[in-house]
């Protein structure tokens, strides 16, 4: 059942998966201040909920997300000063930081169009699955703008030259090309995409939750760290994992199974 506290998104929990659905299909799920604030609140709720192990981010209607609400941006540009515009942009940036720092894995399930900030929202997730008919793109250049806030995720997911081409040419690419570029982990058939995406999330949620959280913390904590420091962090997390009950139970079960053969 959807949480009545939200009006721009739907928040539902089932099988240890919190599904966050952008729910502005009439606006192609464009991101405005209210939607961004509700997503941030939903992330916080899922982080605190012990029943949630994985988050699945999707869009209602024919598209995942068309990016920023351009009508709202125009109003900000014409009625607000530089500091207010900076605060508006920073709110989206803060949401992306929350996603990266969130303790639990976040999966984007992309169908239809994922453009501009919508493509950035998807790539800010830890994993991306896409319908074979999904289309990604960063068309801001055609409006004289650029995907400045989300470019970091584009650059980290792809090579330098691919990242430059995607934002400088503003072209649309299909799901298979996005997969080859590194923006997408898995592509599923359009006819079964909803079921496949949910099962992908459920399968991940069956993994030991503590280990999942340590993986996310370690992977992003290593980013940019010197070689020796990254290895040292790995050793520390290795100890945390091996002393935890999840690992101890898993090792005992494995050894018992091997002895019983």
Q: Give the C-alpha separation, 239 to 232, whole Å.
A: 11
Q: Give the C-alpha separation, 216 to 254, whole Å.
A: 24
Q: Give the C-alpha separation, 124 to 153, whole Å.
A: 6
Counting every residue, how long is the chain? Answer: 261
Q: Give the C-alpha separation, 180 to 18, whole Å.
A: 28
H or E stretch at 54: strand 54-59
Using the Cα atoms of residue 55, residue 190, residue 176 and residue 8 in order, give the sign of their dihedral.
negative
Q: Are 64 and 30 in contact (CB under 8 A)?
A: no
- 229 tagged catalytic: no
Residue 142 sits at φ, ψ, to 5 deg, of -70, -15
14, β-bridge pairs: 17
> Which among 72, 80, 18 is positioned nearest to 50, based on CA atoms?
18
DSSP 159-183: -HHHHHHHHHH--EEEHHHHHHHTS
Give the active site residue among 14, 140, 179, 245.
140
Q: Which residues are catalytic?
A: 140
């Amino acid at each position: 059942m959807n949480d009545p506290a939200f009006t721009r998104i739907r928040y539902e929990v089932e099988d240890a998966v919190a599904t966050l659905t952008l729910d502005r299909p009439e606006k192609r799920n464009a991101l405005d201040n209210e939607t961004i604030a509700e997503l941030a609140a939903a992330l916080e709720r899922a982080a605190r909920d012990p029943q949630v192990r994985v988050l699945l981010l999707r869009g209602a209607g024919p598209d995942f997300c068309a990016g920023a609400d351009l009508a709202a941006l125009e109003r900000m540009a014409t009625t607000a000063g530089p500091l207010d515009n900076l605060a508006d942009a920073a709110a989206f940036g803060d949401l992306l930081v929350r996603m990266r720092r969130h303790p639990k894995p976040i999966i984007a399930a992309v169908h239809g169009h994922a453009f501009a900030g919508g493509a950035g929202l998807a790539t800010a997730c830890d994993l991306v699955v896409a319908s074979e008919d999904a289309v990604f793109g960063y068309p801001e250049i055609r409006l004289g703008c650029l995907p400045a806030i989300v470019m970091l995720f584009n650059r980290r997911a792809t090579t330098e030259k691919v990242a430059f081409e995607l934002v400088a040419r503003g072209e649309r690419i299909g799901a298979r090309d996005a997969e080859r570029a590194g923006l997408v982990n898995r592509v599923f058939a359009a006819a079964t995409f909803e079921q496949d995406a949910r099962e992908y999330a459920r399968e991940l949620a069956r993994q030991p939750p503590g280990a999942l959280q340590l993986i996310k913390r370690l992977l992003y904590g290593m980013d940019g760290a010197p070689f020796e420091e990254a290895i040292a962090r790995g050793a520390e997390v290795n100890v945390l994992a091996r002393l935890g009950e999840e690992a101890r139970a898993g090792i005992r079960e494995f050894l018992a199974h091997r002895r019983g053969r």
